[in-house]
Amino acid sequence: MCGICGVVLADRSRGVSATTLGGMCAAIEHRGPDDEGMFLEGSVGLGVRRLSIIDLPGGHQPISNEDGTVTVAYNGEIYNYRELMEDLRARGHTFATSADTEVLVHGYEEFGDNLLQRLRGMFAFAIWDSRREQIFAAVDRFGIKPFYWGHGTKGFVFGSELSCVLASDLVPRELDGQAVAEYFALGYVPAPLSIFSAVRKLPPGTHLRWKRGSQPCIETYWRPPYAQSQNGADPAELRIALLHELREAVRSHLVSDVPVGAFLSGGIDSSIVVALMAEASAEPVPTFSIGFPDAEHDELDKARLVASRFGTDHRELVIEPDSVDVLPKLVSHFAEPFADSSALPTYYVSALAAESVKVALSGDGGDELFVGYTTFRGVELARSLERLPGPVRRAIGGASRNAPRLPWPPVLADRVERALKRGTDSLAGPIDAYKSKVALTDPGLILSAFTPDFRSEIGAHDPFRAIDASLALSQSGGDPLERFLRVNLDVSLPSGMLVKVDRMSMARSLEVRVPLLDHVLAQFILELPVRTRFPHWRLKGMLRDSVRELLPEPILRQRKHGFTVPVTRWFRDDLNGFVRDVLLDNLTARRGYFDVDQVRMLLASHASGRRDAGALIWSLLMFELWCRQVLD
């Protein structure tokens, strides 16, 4: 695991400065504190910060082929590198190291871009091909590893994080209005956009080519497969096959020359990963969990149950409200606005794990593959309710939206309000229901917090562009729910969930692997009919049945919980003063983005319990903190 960066200047007569490349490497030092390497050849520069995981003494980067005409900067892990290395040696290639990185150099020589089909792993890399004077870059099938890039009259620049691309001083910092609109709708900026119009992200399963004097060419080499008919398939045999694929995926992700641990939330996905790690490991698996004093958000009891069942070396940390002192640090690591509050516990569980291991496995991706989000159940309900006459649906929805908030304690009133919203969403039809369920909050409420000028600018953009684009790609004729499962794979998984895990773990120099997104496993799962994975609207129904003999019964029976943070309560109590100090500050007002009077009323309404605006307040807070870190 590493951080990578690079520059290819448009003018061949100019040389890339070691100072420039060194500054870019310095911006991502946290991604690779063990080593730094630079390749400088006239107008070309590649840089790498290395976190040593495989071939500790010999894996220095960048790495070139025998004659120095192909050089790679690489971030990630190739789990089948040993098999590829044997194959390439048989084809006449000579290896100078035992590192997985070198497979990319010789594999590119031998197979060109067809190499990507042979890789099993998570990766983002850039190859400088001096014979063709070409940059060839690629990211893995699910976008687990990031790749930012920019292109202009000065040349081509890339990096693992936006911060190192900005450190090149080759791209302007002009806000992308479309990206801002999507951030406030979804809480993140979906690929291929970044928050700056001059910088883009390489989407999952794509590769890029660039030569001087031409535009970058981006092509897709992999898309998630569609479900296939399984007529006549024995459900028991499918469950056995699934468990086999799960075991193989976890086993393959244990390849390492350093100790490997696991995040353990107590949910079914992380519990499966830990159970299968324990099967494959001779030593107790190091496991790490985060909890909260707030019982509604705490799952430590379930994590302890799993840890006890599998005899893990278990460690825990409880997060208090004062843990938000690290928010400016988190903002700097994202380098663009990011409003998923679960980034906070992800940062702390990464810090806890990094005290004793360099690599940790997580259960991310299970909800997307096995139909685990309650959103999908809500979309199914929306399809069913479409049978009701339109006037009836509109009347019920209007009554629900206009229902007065009950004069109960805020926690109870919040729950009732959320339940009413879920029902109202499902009256709107599947597409609108999905958008409302994945949105941070009501778009009208978001716009009301902006100044007129900012509202006019951001309101002109479609905040659900990425979702509409994904829906447009889906083939017709299959299971209607499959379209929405693919939206999650295309949009929220790579641009939300995986961004959070990558940035927060690498902030602590920890490599996190996601075996449930192993593409061999994913191919098997995604080709199963949706109704096989989601029988009778049971979230993760097939997965639960397949691991019934493996996990404790309370883990199998539990409802979907999620890695949530009690920000709603914090903003009413412990953090009310902090958020007011930031959002009502003169600096915020002078920036001209937020209407401070409207924000003041929003904060007062939330603090009094008249409404739950926790998600919106968090998004405003993170955007302002980002402005102070990056724009000021």
The whole-number pLDDT of residue 404 equals 75
Phi, psi of 592 (to 5 degrees): 85, 10
Residue 55 has pLDDT above 90, yes or no: no
Q: Nearest 10 degrees: CA dihedral of 466, 468, 470, 473?
A: -140
User: Across residues 346-360, what is the average pLDDT?
Assistant: 96
Q: Classify 228 as helix, strand or coil.
A: coil
Q: pTM of the full predicted structure?
A: 0.95
Residues acting as catalytic residues: 2
User: Across residues 560-568, what is the average pLDDT?
Assistant: 77
In the numeric block, the tokens 């067809």 are attached to 114
CA-angle at 562, arms to 393 and 466, nearest 5°: 60
Model confidence at 285, pLDDT cuts 50, 70, 90, reads very high
Query: Mind listing the pLDDT tens digit for each residue in 257-284?
Result: 889 999 999 999 999 999 999 999 999 9
Residue 457 has pLDDT above 70, yes or no: yes
The whole-number pLDDT of residue 451 equals 97
- Lowest mean pLDDT segment, chosen from 6-10, 161-165, 358-362, 409-413: 409-413
- Provide the H-helix boundaries in 355-426: 366-370, 374-385, 390-401, 410-425
Asked if 313 contacts 264 with a C-beta cutoff of 8 angstroms, the reply is no
Q: Count of alpha carbons within 13 Å of 10, Cβ hemisphere only?
A: 12
Q: Do domains 2-220 and 235-371+477-557 have the same CATH topology?
A: no
| CATH number of the 2-220 domain | 3.60.20.10
Q: Nearest 10 degrees: CA dihedral of 500, 501, 504, 506?
A: -130
Q: How far apart are CA 406 and CA 394, in angstroms?
A: 22
**Mean pLDDT rounded to a whole number for the chain:** 93
Q: What would you report as the CA-atom Rg of the chain, rounded to the nearest whole angstrom?
A: 24
User: Where exactly are the structural domains of the chain?
Assistant: 2-220, 235-371+477-557
First and final C-alpha spacing in the chain: 32
The whole-number pLDDT of residue 186 equals 98
Residue 306 has pLDDT above 80, yes or no: yes
Residue 391 has pLDDT above 70, yes or no: yes
Pick the CATH number of 235-371+477-557 from 3.30.470.20, 3.20.20.70, 3.40.50.620, 3.10.129.10: 3.40.50.620
The whole-number pLDDT of residue 87 equals 97
Residue 476 has pLDDT above 90, yes or no: no
Asked if 401 contacts 424 with a C-beta cutoff of 8 angstroms, the reply is yes
Q: How far apart are CA 480 and CA 435, in angstroms?
A: 15
Q: Residue 315 belongs to what H/E stretch?
A: strand 313-318
Q: How much of the chain exceeds pLDDT 90, in percent?
A: 81
Model confidence at 322, pLDDT cuts 50, 70, 90, reads confident
Q: How much of the chain exceeds pLDDT 70, in percent?
A: 98
